[in-house]
């Protein structure tokens, strides 16, 4: 048997590059020092870490692409769903995997992927990684990995983006306030060869099951099946809105007569009036035409899903 040289042993055991992209403004402020946690809990025999900070919107995507170009095997988003979205944009369809240290107010994708919300536990998951490939989607060319939506969802995202307050209670207050004045708009949803026209309160596109904070818009969504779950909610009054909120938090929306579900790989929406829309909770603008597409198994992640991809 050939002898293993010292150089060969070093090559086998050398730690792989891991870039941590940290948004210092994500989520509810805390005194936790993420660099200190990484230094304390990350297995440096497994990963060779580098920490970089975002400076403006969209910067995380640039940093992720630079990390991939530098040979990173793992690129970790440290922040909320907006940060995760930006980092994932730079990692999808590459040889690098996405990791998540959830530090936002909703953490929708992290929750769906079974990533612990306690940061030392999330780092432990990186130390003994299980890799999976998951689906991603786009709405009018904007990538999303958790959910996107048109209508009331989009309006709330636009108002929340302008707010300085974060956290679940602030979000709920905002939703209640905006609901009072919201008017459902007519739209035609073209899906699976059918045209469905109605006044829609929400048209939601779910790659993962929830918005965040365990609010489940599509409890049956499978992030590895190559299909998005489309949830159609027509005009609702106050009583129906209360019922809808209960359904979101208890996963019962899938059995509610207020919501209609379809699965597909592509869907188009047209509306006479411009409608607000979001991707992973981030306000994207307004449009009268929408095209939503699915890209199966396009992103590798470290996660705690039930089965390997």
- 280 with 147, same domain? yes
- 163 with 123, same domain? no
* pLDDT of res. 262: 97
Over residues 13-43, the pLDDT tens digits come to 799 999 999 988 765 556 678 999 999 999 9
- 171 with 109, same domain? no
* pLDDT of res. 309: 38
| Average pLDDT of the chain, as a whole number | 90
Percent of the chain with pLDDT over 90: 70
Which one of 106, 129, 152 terminates a domain?
A: 129
Q: How far apart are CA 214 and CA 102, in angstroms?
A: 14
* pLDDT of res. 164: 61
**Higher model confidence: residue 293 or residue 244?**
293
Q: What is the CATH number of the domain that holds 204?
A: 2.60.200.40
Q: What is the CATH number of the domain that holds 95?
A: 3.40.50.10330
Closest CA to 279 of 290, 268, 270, 271: 290
Which one of 103, 129, 155 terminates a domain?
A: 129
- 90 with 169, same domain? no
- 122 with 148, same domain? no
- 159 with 283, same domain? yes
Which one of 76, 107, 129 terminates a domain?
A: 129
- 208 with 281, same domain? yes
- 115 with 179, same domain? no
The stretch 71-93 carries a mean pLDDT of: 97
- 54 with 185, same domain? no
Apex CA 263: angle with CA 262 and CA 266, to 5°? 110
Contact present, 19 and 68 (Cβ < 8 Å): no
- 149 with 249, same domain? yes
Q: Is the pLDDT of residue 163 over 70?
A: no
* pLDDT of res. 228: 98
**Higher model confidence: residue 2 or residue 288?**
288
- 98 with 73, same domain? yes
Find the domain containing 119 and state its range.
Answer: 6-129
**pTM of model > 0.85:** yes
Over residues 214-242, the pLDDT tens digits come to 999 999 999 999 999 999 999 888 888 88
- 25 with 164, same domain? no
Name the range with the highest mean pLDDT among 20-24, 162-166, 203-207. Answer: 203-207
First to last CA, the chain: 36
Q: What is the CA radius of gyration of the chain?
A: 20
Domain contains 291: yes
Q: How far apart are CA 138 and CA 134, in angstroms?
A: 14
Q: How far apart are CA 3 and CA 194, in angstroms?
A: 66
Cβ partners under 8 Å of residue 225, min gap 6? 135
* pLDDT of res. 108: 94
Number of domains present in the structure of the chain: 2
* pLDDT of res. 293: 98
């Amino acid at each position: 048997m050939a002898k293993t040289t010292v150089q060969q042993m070093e090559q086998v055991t050398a730690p792989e590059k891991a870039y941590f992209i940290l948004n210092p403004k994500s989520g509810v402020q805390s005194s936790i020092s993420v660099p200190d946690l990484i230094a304390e809990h990350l297995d440096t025999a497994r990963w060779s870490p580098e920490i970089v900070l975002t400076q403006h919107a969209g910067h995380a995507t640039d940093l992720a692409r630079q990390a991939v170009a530098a040979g990173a095997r793992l690129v970790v988003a440290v922040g909320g769903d907006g940060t995760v979205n930006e980092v994932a944009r730079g990692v999808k369809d590459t040889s690098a995997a996405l990791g998540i240290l959830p530090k936002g107010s909703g953490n929708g994708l992290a929750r769906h992927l079974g990533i612990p919300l306690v940061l030392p536990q999330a780092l432990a998951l990186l130390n003994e990684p299980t890799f999976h490939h998951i689906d991603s989607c786009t709405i009018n060319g904007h990538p999303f990995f958790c959910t996107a939506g048109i209508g009331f969802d989009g309006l709330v995202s636009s108002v929340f983006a302008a707010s300085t307050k974060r956290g679940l209670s602030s979000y709920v207050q905002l939703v209640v306030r905006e609901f009072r004045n919201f008017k459902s708009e007519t739209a035609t949803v073209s899906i699976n060869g059918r045209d469905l026209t109605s006044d829609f309160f929400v048209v939601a596109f779910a790659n993962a099951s929830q918005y965040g904070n365990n609010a489940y818009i599509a409890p049956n969504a499978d992030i590895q099946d190559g299909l998005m779950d489309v949830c159609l909610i027509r005009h609702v009054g106050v009583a129906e809105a209360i019922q809808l909120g209960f359904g979101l938090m208890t996963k019962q929306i899938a059995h509610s007569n207020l919501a209609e579900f379809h699965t597909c790989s592509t869907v188009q929406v047209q509306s006479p009036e411009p409608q607000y829309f979001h991707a992973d909770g981030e306000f994207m603008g307004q449009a009268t035409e929408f095209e939503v597409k699915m890209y199966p198994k396009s992103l590798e992640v470290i996660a705690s899903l039930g089965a390997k991809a």
